[in-house]
Amino acid sequence: EAQVTQNPRYLITVTGKKLTVTCSQNMNHEYMSWYRQDPGLGLRQIYYSMNVEVTDKGDVPEGYKVSRKEKRNFPLILESPSPNQTSLYFCASSFQYRSNEKLFFGSGTQLSVL
Amino acid sequence: AQTVTQSQPEMSVQEAETVTLSCTYDTSESDYYLFWYKQPPSRQMILVIRQEAYKQQNATENRFSVNFQKAAKSFSLKISDSQLGDAAMYFCAPTASGTYKYIFGTGTRLKVLA
């Protein structure tokens, strides 16, 4: 089944404790991206990747890191989480970035930083 | 910069009635597409409908249709014969070929009343 797998689904952590949210797609997609969703703000792009080893900042990259060592995986790393990073996070992918390509989304990660 | 505005944070519709969700955007790009995504309580993001900006004909997918006014930069979603399963958060997302970013609106929460 074609899908974007995101783990964990829920995560509670404490300030400063490094964490990684994993994202993997099995569709051979070139484009992958991360979003955070906050009430009243919609989805905001954190980072995106056009292909292996090619990543770039979205609109809200501060406090986050990503890597794209393999085509299928695009983990989101919070080196020192803070409470303002409490949010719902989505990973998404598409075959390529073209303006007509729809995004395939993971099921989301609800992160709480205490 | 590309921006998108959904001016209705919440709307309600009676089952079997018709409702229209509004979306306006601003872009300097000439090549772009417009998407509506639905997010039910399960959190899964689902593509509802897609419109090519170069097409004058409005897109239709079963009970869902758009009213695309290019000059006014308006892209509203009309849901006919509303069903309980239509209750969700709806996000408008214009995408332009030159930016490599997907921009989402702040969302409209639709309630369907039985």
Sequence-separated (6 or more) residues with CB below 8 Å from residue B71 = none
Tokens of B78: 């009309």
Residue type, B97: S
| Burial track A16-43 (b if 16+ CB lie within 10 A, e otherwise) | eeebebebbbeeebbbbbbbbbeeeebb
Q: How near does any CA of chain A get to the CA of B15, in Å?
A: 26
Query: Does the beta-carbon distance from B47 to A102 stay under 8 Å?
Result: yes
Q: Is B3 on the interface with A (CB under 8 A)?
A: no
* Residues in a beta bridge with B56: none
pLDDT tens figures, B4-29: 999 999 999 999 999 999 999 988 77
The number of C-alpha atoms within 13 Å of A90 and in the hemisphere containing its C-beta is 22
Residues 2-61 of A with CB under 8 A from B: 33, 35, 40-45, 48, 50, 56, 58-59
Phi-psi region of A48 (alpha: psi -120 to 50; beta: other; left: phi over 0): beta
Q: What is the pLDDT of residue B99?
A: 67
Tokens of A55: 């990543």
Question: pLDDT tens digits, residue range B69-106?
Answer: 988 999 999 999 999 999 999 999 988 766 677 889 99
What DSSP state is assigned to residue B86? G
- Report yes or no: A21 and A109 within 8 Å, Cβ to Cβ: yes
Residue given tokens 């309980």 in the structure block = B84
